[in-house]
Amino acid sequence: MDNFMTCVNSGQYEKAVNLFTPNFVKSFMDKDSYADAVRVVRGTRQENMRLSDIRAYADGSYTVEGRFLAYGHKIAHERWNLWPDGGFLKVNKLDSLDVPVPPDAATIHVDMGEYFFQLDKQTVCASNVVLRLKNVGRKPHEAIVLKLPEGAVPEDLLTGKVQWSEVAIIGEDNGGHTILMTRMTPGTYSIFDFISTRDGVPHAVLGQTARFTVAC
Protein backbone atom coordinates (compact mmCIF):
# COMPACT_ATOMS: atom_id res chain seq x y z
CA MET A 1 0.00 0.00 0.00
CA ASP A 2 2.98 2.29 0.56
CA ASN A 3 3.88 1.76 -3.11
CA PHE A 4 0.40 2.79 -4.25
CA MET A 5 0.34 5.87 -2.00
CA THR A 6 3.80 6.93 -3.20
CA CYS A 7 2.76 6.54 -6.85
CA VAL A 8 -0.50 8.52 -6.66
CA ASN A 9 0.94 11.27 -4.47
CA SER A 10 3.77 11.79 -6.97
CA GLY A 11 1.46 11.70 -10.01
CA GLN A 12 2.71 8.34 -11.30
CA TYR A 13 -0.79 7.07 -12.06
CA GLU A 14 0.26 4.48 -14.66
CA LYS A 15 2.49 2.79 -12.07
CA ALA A 16 -0.29 3.07 -9.49
CA VAL A 17 -2.88 1.17 -11.54
CA ASN A 18 -0.34 -1.56 -12.30
CA LEU A 19 -0.77 -2.44 -8.61
CA PHE A 20 -4.36 -3.48 -9.40
CA THR A 21 -5.28 -6.94 -10.70
CA PRO A 22 -7.24 -7.16 -13.98
CA ASN A 23 -10.17 -8.43 -11.93
CA PHE A 24 -10.14 -5.27 -9.80
CA VAL A 25 -9.98 -3.00 -12.85
CA LYS A 26 -12.94 -4.76 -14.42
CA SER A 27 -15.18 -5.72 -11.48
CA PHE A 28 -14.61 -2.85 -9.06
CA MET A 29 -13.62 0.05 -11.31
CA ASP A 30 -15.89 -1.05 -14.18
CA LYS A 31 -13.14 -0.36 -16.72
CA ASP A 32 -12.02 -2.43 -19.68
CA SER A 33 -8.38 -1.38 -19.69
CA TYR A 34 -5.61 -0.05 -17.48
CA ALA A 35 -5.60 3.13 -19.57
CA ASP A 36 -9.21 3.75 -18.53
CA ALA A 37 -8.26 3.01 -14.92
CA VAL A 38 -5.57 5.71 -15.05
CA ARG A 39 -8.25 8.31 -15.76
CA VAL A 40 -10.12 7.19 -12.64
CA VAL A 41 -7.19 7.47 -10.22
CA ARG A 42 -5.84 10.71 -11.69
CA GLY A 43 -5.97 13.35 -8.98
CA THR A 44 -5.98 10.82 -6.14
CA ARG A 45 -4.06 11.85 -3.05
CA GLN A 46 -3.66 9.92 0.22
CA GLU A 47 -2.30 11.23 3.52
CA ASN A 48 -1.86 10.04 7.11
CA MET A 49 -2.14 6.35 6.20
CA ARG A 50 -2.57 3.99 9.16
CA LEU A 51 -2.62 0.25 8.50
CA SER A 52 -4.11 -2.36 10.82
CA ASP A 53 -5.58 -5.86 11.02
CA ILE A 54 -3.15 -7.42 8.52
CA ARG A 55 -4.09 -11.05 7.82
CA ALA A 56 -2.38 -13.72 5.71
CA TYR A 57 -4.19 -16.63 4.06
CA ALA A 58 -3.15 -20.07 2.81
CA ASP A 59 -3.62 -19.09 -0.85
CA GLY A 60 -0.95 -16.39 -0.54
CA SER A 61 -3.37 -13.48 -0.35
CA TYR A 62 -3.61 -10.88 2.40
CA THR A 63 -6.20 -8.45 3.74
CA VAL A 64 -5.33 -5.17 5.41
CA GLU A 65 -7.37 -2.26 6.72
CA GLY A 66 -6.31 1.30 6.05
CA ARG A 67 -7.46 4.60 7.54
CA PHE A 68 -6.38 7.73 5.70
CA LEU A 69 -7.29 11.17 4.41
CA ALA A 70 -8.10 11.14 0.69
CA TYR A 71 -7.97 14.20 -1.58
CA GLY A 72 -7.31 16.37 1.46
CA HIS A 73 -10.97 16.07 2.51
CA LYS A 74 -12.41 12.55 2.64
CA ILE A 75 -11.88 10.51 5.82
CA ALA A 76 -11.56 6.94 4.54
CA HIS A 77 -11.56 3.50 6.14
CA GLU A 78 -11.14 0.61 3.70
CA ARG A 79 -10.25 -3.07 3.65
CA TRP A 80 -8.07 -4.24 0.76
CA ASN A 81 -7.66 -7.81 -0.48
CA LEU A 82 -4.15 -8.20 -1.86
CA TRP A 83 -3.29 -10.96 -4.32
CA PRO A 84 0.24 -12.11 -5.32
CA ASP A 85 0.93 -11.34 -8.97
CA GLY A 86 4.30 -11.07 -10.69
CA GLY A 87 6.24 -10.70 -7.47
CA PHE A 88 3.97 -7.97 -6.11
CA LEU A 89 0.90 -7.91 -3.91
CA LYS A 90 -1.84 -6.28 -5.99
CA VAL A 91 -5.25 -4.96 -5.00
CA ASN A 92 -7.89 -7.50 -6.02
CA LYS A 93 -10.85 -6.27 -3.99
CA LEU A 94 -11.81 -3.26 -1.88
CA ASP A 95 -14.47 -2.87 0.81
CA SER A 96 -15.45 0.52 2.16
CA LEU A 97 -15.82 0.42 5.96
CA ASP A 98 -17.67 2.69 8.37
CA VAL A 99 -15.91 5.72 9.87
CA PRO A 100 -16.89 7.54 13.08
CA VAL A 101 -18.87 10.66 12.23
CA PRO A 102 -18.00 13.77 14.30
CA PRO A 103 -20.96 15.05 16.34
CA ASP A 104 -20.72 18.46 14.69
CA ALA A 105 -20.97 17.06 11.14
CA ALA A 106 -23.79 18.25 8.90
CA THR A 107 -25.60 15.34 7.25
CA ILE A 108 -27.12 15.31 3.78
CA HIS A 109 -29.21 12.27 2.83
CA VAL A 110 -28.83 11.42 -0.86
CA ASP A 111 -31.12 9.08 -2.80
CA MET A 112 -29.63 7.73 -6.06
CA GLY A 113 -31.68 6.31 -8.92
CA GLU A 114 -32.10 6.31 -12.70
CA TYR A 115 -30.76 8.92 -13.38
CA PHE A 116 -30.87 11.37 -10.49
CA PHE A 117 -29.59 12.41 -7.09
CA GLN A 118 -32.21 13.63 -4.64
CA LEU A 119 -30.80 15.55 -1.64
CA ASP A 120 -32.84 16.23 1.49
CA LYS A 121 -31.08 19.59 1.78
CA GLN A 122 -28.94 21.71 -0.54
CA THR A 123 -27.27 23.98 2.01
CA VAL A 124 -25.31 23.21 5.19
CA CYS A 125 -23.13 25.20 7.56
CA ALA A 126 -20.27 23.01 8.79
CA SER A 127 -16.65 22.15 8.01
CA ASN A 128 -17.46 18.44 8.45
CA VAL A 129 -20.06 17.17 5.99
CA VAL A 130 -21.35 13.62 5.60
CA LEU A 131 -23.34 12.30 2.64
CA ARG A 132 -25.58 9.33 3.50
CA LEU A 133 -26.17 7.48 0.24
CA LYS A 134 -29.10 5.21 -0.60
CA ASN A 135 -29.55 3.51 -3.95
CA VAL A 136 -33.29 3.57 -4.64
CA GLY A 137 -32.86 2.51 -8.26
CA ARG A 138 -32.44 -0.81 -10.02
CA LYS A 139 -28.91 -0.22 -11.32
CA PRO A 140 -25.55 0.42 -9.64
CA HIS A 141 -24.79 4.08 -8.93
CA GLU A 142 -21.89 6.05 -7.48
CA ALA A 143 -21.34 9.48 -5.99
CA ILE A 144 -18.21 11.50 -6.72
CA VAL A 145 -17.93 14.95 -5.14
CA LEU A 146 -16.07 17.60 -7.15
CA LYS A 147 -15.30 21.30 -6.67
CA LEU A 148 -15.72 23.08 -9.98
CA PRO A 149 -14.35 26.54 -10.80
CA GLU A 150 -16.33 29.48 -9.48
CA GLY A 151 -19.53 29.97 -11.48
CA ALA A 152 -19.30 26.62 -13.32
CA VAL A 153 -22.16 24.11 -13.40
CA PRO A 154 -21.93 20.30 -13.81
CA GLU A 155 -22.85 20.48 -17.50
CA ASP A 156 -19.70 22.54 -18.12
CA LEU A 157 -17.49 19.57 -17.18
CA LEU A 158 -19.52 17.17 -19.32
CA THR A 159 -19.38 19.40 -22.41
CA GLY A 160 -15.70 20.25 -22.09
CA LYS A 161 -16.23 23.90 -21.18
CA VAL A 162 -14.46 23.06 -17.92
CA GLN A 163 -11.39 20.81 -18.06
CA TRP A 164 -10.49 18.16 -15.49
CA SER A 165 -7.31 20.10 -14.73
CA GLU A 166 -9.54 22.86 -13.32
CA VAL A 167 -11.46 20.49 -11.02
CA ALA A 168 -10.69 19.44 -7.44
CA ILE A 169 -11.78 15.95 -6.36
CA ILE A 170 -13.22 16.10 -2.84
CA GLY A 171 -14.42 12.53 -2.24
CA GLU A 172 -16.13 9.42 -3.61
CA ASP A 173 -18.14 6.54 -2.16
CA ASN A 174 -15.87 3.64 -3.30
CA GLY A 175 -18.80 1.27 -3.02
CA GLY A 176 -19.83 2.44 0.45
CA HIS A 177 -22.92 4.21 1.75
CA THR A 178 -21.22 7.16 3.43
CA ILE A 179 -18.86 9.92 2.33
CA LEU A 180 -17.40 11.81 5.30
CA MET A 181 -15.62 15.00 4.29
CA THR A 182 -13.63 17.38 6.48
CA ARG A 183 -11.94 20.77 6.01
CA MET A 184 -14.86 21.85 3.82
CA THR A 185 -14.69 25.54 2.98
CA PRO A 186 -17.66 27.72 1.94
CA GLY A 187 -18.67 27.20 -1.67
CA THR A 188 -20.69 25.04 -4.02
CA TYR A 189 -19.86 21.37 -4.56
CA SER A 190 -21.10 19.05 -7.32
CA ILE A 191 -22.00 15.34 -7.21
CA PHE A 192 -21.56 13.17 -10.30
CA ASP A 193 -22.30 9.55 -11.24
CA PHE A 194 -19.79 8.48 -13.90
CA ILE A 195 -20.85 4.84 -14.13
CA SER A 196 -21.71 4.09 -17.76
CA THR A 197 -24.76 2.41 -19.26
CA ARG A 198 -24.38 -0.62 -21.53
CA ASP A 199 -24.16 1.88 -24.40
CA GLY A 200 -21.17 3.56 -22.78
CA VAL A 201 -23.02 6.72 -21.72
CA PRO A 202 -22.08 8.03 -18.24
CA HIS A 203 -25.05 8.43 -15.91
CA ALA A 204 -24.02 12.06 -15.42
CA VAL A 205 -24.63 12.76 -19.11
CA LEU A 206 -28.16 11.42 -18.62
CA GLY A 207 -28.74 13.95 -15.87
CA GLN A 208 -27.35 12.32 -12.74
CA THR A 209 -25.65 15.30 -11.16
CA ALA A 210 -26.51 17.50 -8.19
CA ARG A 211 -25.08 20.36 -6.17
CA PHE A 212 -24.93 21.37 -2.53
CA THR A 213 -23.54 24.46 -0.82
CA VAL A 214 -21.43 24.88 2.28
CA ALA A 215 -22.60 28.30 3.43
CA CYS A 216 -20.28 28.84 6.40
Q: pLDDT tens-digit profile of 43-53? A: 889 999 999 99
Same domain, 193 and 137: yes
Same domain, 83 and 154: no
Same domain, 111 and 201: yes
Boundaries of domain holding 125: 106-214
Of 171, 185, 182, 190, the residue nearest 214 (C-alpha): 185
Q: What is the pLDDT of residue 64?
A: 97
Q: What is the pLDDT of residue 108?
A: 98
Would residue 101 count as lying in a domain?
Answer: no
Same domain, 113 and 207: yes
Q: In the chain, which residues have pLDDT < 50?
A: none
- Cα–Cα distances (Å) from 156 to 3, 152, 204, in that order, read 35, 6, 12
CATH code at position 21: 3.10.450.50
Assess contact for 131 and 145: CB atoms under 8 A: yes
Q: What is the pLDDT of residue 87?
A: 87
Q: What is the pLDDT of residue 9?
A: 92
Backbone angles phi, psi at 26, to 5 degrees: -80, -50
Number of structural domains found in the chain:
2
CATH code at position 155: 2.60.40.420
Q: What is the pLDDT of residue 15?
A: 93
Same domain, 110 and 85: no
- pLDDT tens across 173-211, in order? 988 999 999 999 999 999 999 999 999 999 999 999 999
Backbone angles phi, psi at 178, to 5 degrees: -140, 135
Same domain, 68 and 132: no
Q: Distance between CA atoms of 149 and 15, rounded to whole angstroms?
A: 29
- Cα–Cα distances (Å) from 124 to 45, 57, 61, in that order, read 25, 45, 43
Same domain, 17 and 62: yes
Would residue 76 count as lying in a domain?
Answer: yes
Assess contact for 155 and 132: CB atoms under 8 A: no
Alpha helix segments (H runs only) across the chain: 2-9, 13-17, 22-23, 34-41, 154-159
Same domain, 70 and 146: no
Q: What is the pLDDT of residue 30?
A: 84
